[in-house]
Structure 1
Amino acid sequence: MEDLANYRKILHVDMDAFYASVEQRDDPSLLGKPVVVGGRPNSRGVVSAASYEARKYGIRSAMPVAEAARRCPDAVFLPVNFKKYREVSWQIREIFLTYTPMVEPISLDEAFLDVTGSTRLFGPAEDIALTIKLRIRQELSLTASVGFACNKFLAKLASDLKKPDGFVVVHPDKVQEFLDPLPIERIWGVGEKTAEQLHSHRINTVKDLRSLELKFLTKLFGSLGSQLYQLARGIDDRPVESDRVVKSIGRETTFESDIRDGDFLEKTLLMLAIDVGRSLRKEALRGRTVTLKVRYDDFRTLSRSRTIHRATDLDDVIFQEACSLLSELSLKQPLRLIGVTMSNLTDQHENQISLFEEPRLERENLTKVLDLVKEKYGEKSITRARLL
């Protein structure tokens, strides 16, 4: 076996059925029951998470909630509680940061960790991984699956192989032994259409894929072909990026029934703008580009964007721009979804000072007070009169 000291030591930590597991932990009566997080059974939302008991019925993330209810009428259906999941995610991240500053969150429930420089202080990387798993179980009453390898691609694959509560190590001299039997669908970038093309050439496993020449793959798939060639050999040089730049912050909602009423849509935009503004302030960011997204009842999806002169994190400004964009769209057809996103982000302190600061500063101070009240007394402790 090759000496691990010569390789990067990368962990991929993936929480098991995260949202559903948090709900089962907080309500012990749900333990052992099929739990679906995503909305009421008659809603038009999609499944955000399904407990392992629910997965036995074929229920998966992104499946329509109505389909999940058809497959398992006795399942417990719960709304998504992002505030709770974010808080637990931060608790998990605090555990990660105990062992390395090189943490790259991918979502609320998964992250890459580079523990290459941590072994002198905390011992072998495998011990660090097992300690993290143990602390998550003991301190948060949740389970995580961990993959350990010399790069991100292999660590991610490894973490997914023995869920739940898995731990898989891919040693550098066992990479092809690990990869070759896997179906090609396990490779990043191989979606349904790419898989169909590969199957048509009798390429079903990673070993089959590795038999193809680079020239053939690039002719077939362009730049993706080069990526497939590298990944089939377990090659991935991407570093763990501990300070990933947030490129956009957005929120959207799918209506229970199709909506064409302008006043209702504006109220919804206000709620979304408030949520986006608060998220920007939490991240100490401001945005200059407002994007409105709508989906009509026939599933046609449109988006419209506008870049404003001065970056902002103020709810009212985001709301006003979103409403202006909405007014430019046809509402002859009802909408089933609406969303607001802020992009072109910048640090709060990078904005140019205006000659007319006082009114804006008053609004900023008021917004900060509202944020503090909600943090201390809950989301419903104070709200806009229009939303009552």
Structure 2
Amino acid sequence: MTGKARNALLTLGLLALSSTSVLAQTQPQPQTPPVACGGDLATFLEGVKTEAVGKGIPADVADRALAGAALDQKVLSRDRAQGVFKQTFTEFSKRTVSKGRLDIGAQKMKEYADVFARAEGEFGVPAPVITAFWAMETDFGAVQGDFNTRNALVTLAHDCRRPEMFRPQLLSAIEMVQHGDLDPAATTGAWAGEIGQVQMLPEDIIAYGVDGDGDGHVNLKKSSPDAILTAAKFIKSLGFTAGQPWIQEVALPDQLPWEKTGLQPGMTAGDWFALGVAPRDGNTSHGALEASLVLPQGRKGVAFLTYPNFKIYLEWNQSFIYTTSAAYFATRLAGAPPYQAGNPEPGLGDTEMKTLQTKLQALGHDVGKIDGILGSGTRTALQKEQLKLGLPADGWATPDLLQAL
């Protein structure tokens, strides 16, 4: 699934991590009412219609939106078989941040210069940031998905895996039908219900949709101005601060407190500069900003300082490799040169990574699911074990480290 379901997923994660008082923990907690799902499809759809009407949508609109709705087994197959993200940063970024995409991106920024100027003026989001997402999500609208959006959302809301996530999206899709912005029979998109050139879910389109071409509708499938401005408004809502950087390539000294690297707070860019971390573009003007030093493939590979604006990338999509690539893509569109890949140590394959995670788990670390992905939990655990072993704690998984454990 792409990052447009990120709000619901992040909310669930934050709820699980939220602290409660000792008293609250000892008292019976109220149960969240279950979200209706499953069963006879006609009965399910009648319940959706009743809820939609209760939210102020006319009954005839709900009838029109749900008429002919059907469950799509291909959607369920895609949902059950979501692949995991196991490419390295250099592999993924070299494939996605291609010369062809950079050239098209530059052309799009010129073609829609007035729209991008409006986006930055109203929402503070520069053209390269929007354009990189536009390219990463759909190749500038060329690949938007061919699943019937209404049916995809009916399927996922009816399915009892995550109805709390998808029933609100189905209701928002019905509201889009009311506005004339979604044709229930013809609108297509991604298997999880995302629509348009920047792939957004109906709930986000309702909340942040902007009519960029003045036709009275928000059409993210066909209207690039609508897509650009809606993306800008949404990115601003995620916390983007105008005039600040998001990511910056840096060169590293031989020695650093490697255990302080990774997506963790506590350091400013100035702190890193004082330790010998040097921006490749020479710009040290943002030294007062909080910054994390991220090493996608360890201390011998490419290195970036990430600034507070990088958090919007993690909100858009929780894959570290995707988000770092998208942020790097935006810097290239803004004029930065290609990164210097360095000479990273070889990483681990899928089976080896799962073995490593199993070992870390046995040592008492919470690495989450044993999935073969070098995610934040696994990287943090690795850093702790690297420190114990007297190794540079850069969080990069290598065959030598696996052997040492």
Please tell me the TM-score bracket, short chain as reference. Answer: under 0.3
More strand, by proportion: 1
The TM-score with structure 1 as length reference comes to 0.25
Higher RCO (C-alpha 8 Å, min separation 6):
2
